[in-house]
Amino acid sequence: MPTRITILSLATILSCWHLPSCLAQDDSGVPSNLEQWKLPDGVRYEHKVRQEPRPLHIHVLEMDLSSSNLAFAVIPGDDPDGDGPAEVALEHPRELAKRAGAIAAINTAAWAMLTDPATGKKPGYSIGKAADVSGWVAQSGRLISPPQSGYWSVWLDNSNQLKMGMIASEKELLEKGIQAKWAVSGFRGILKDAKVLVEPSQVRHPRTAVGLSQDSKKFVWIVVDGRQKGYSEGVSEEELANLLLESGCSEGINLDGGGSSSMWILNNTSELTAANRPSDPTGVRPVPVVLGLLQQ
């Protein structure tokens, strides 16, 4: 039976946090030309605009994991050298999402650029350039990048349970009998058992995060714009963790951020469009892998 599609008109959500690191809210600067997105039942998008303690644009996608019409996919760039040192080639995040027919996507894992053998130098962030992904990345039983100590991961196990934690090595996967339908890493965990794991900081950047509710029924993606004075000036990891708490999460991971932070959603003309305003000077930075939301 075809799944009914609901057209959601965006409303800017403005409500007090009541959290230890409260970011007060104000409705000044709310965009007047909010776009409509085409999202299935079980998915909700919120665009939060705040003026205190600094200008912020926060993008939240909440997914009901009990919805049978939703699925996820880890979508990497192509392997540019087979058995060579590169794991993936950088690609525009929208193009990666489109490969899997995703209706929404976010950037995920960090990476290191590999030296170009022709020049002996590491190239800039350009489409097609070779990269080494940081942490565990897998899809449909294919290991794209092995687990790595210090990088937390989110994965779907063989019993269809979403998990979050730090897996340090392939050996640990074997010892613990962990098998994943898909997995992707970020940086460190920032929320565990509803406790913030990171200290307050003045280091603020664009951020991307994933979170999971205590009952494991809600999966949350957050992208916070930053490095754009007067529009959105970014958050610390501790503030990001509190955003996840606000969205009902008890677990959370800080993914790659900065100029890589982007969220893509299918709009009402069936085009994947950036919900946020990426800070990269080129407009959209190519990335090695995205996490996509699929409609079954």
pLDDT digits (tens, 9 = 90+) for 159-183: 999 999 999 999 999 999 999 999 9
Q: What are the two backbone dihedrals, phi and then psi, of residue 37, each rounded to the nearest 5 degrees?
A: -120, 150
Query: pLDDT by residue (tens digit) across 103-147?
Result: 999 999 999 999 888 888 888 899 999 999 999 999 998 999 999
Query: pLDDT by residue (tens digit) across 237-260?
Result: 999 999 999 999 999 999 999 999
| Residue 241 DSSP one-character state | H
Q: Is the pLDDT of residue 31 over 50?
A: no
Please tell me which residue, 266 or 17, carries the higher pLDDT value. Answer: 266
Strand partners, 167: none
Q: Name 44's Cβ contacts closer than 8 Å, sequence gap at least 6.
A: 8, 61, 62
HSE, CB side, 13 Å, CA atoms: give it for residue 205. Answer: 15
Residue % of the chain over a pLDDT of 70:
88
Nearest to 60 by CA among 279, 218, 215, 271: 218
Residue with tokens 């996840």: 244
Nearest to 220 by CA among 101, 77, 72, 99: 72
Query: pLDDT by residue (tens digit) across 71-86?
Result: 999 999 999 998 888 9
Average pLDDT over residues 140-161: 96
User: Using 50, 70 and 90 to split pLDDT, how confident is the model at 18?
Assistant: very low
pLDDT at 20: 35
DSSP letters, 87-107, are -EE-B-HHHHHHHTT-SEEEE
Average pLDDT over residues 261-271: 95
Query: pLDDT by residue (tens digit) across 278-292?
Result: 999 888 999 999 999
For residues 150 and 289, what is the distance between their CA atoms, to the nearest angstrom?
Answer: 19
Q: Quick count: other Cβ atoms within 10 Å of Cβ 6?
A: 13
Strand partners, 74: 291
pLDDT at 35: 54
Give yes or no for a contact between 122 and 86, defined as CB atoms under 8 angstroms apart: no
pLDDT at 123: 84
Average pLDDT over residues 227-243: 99
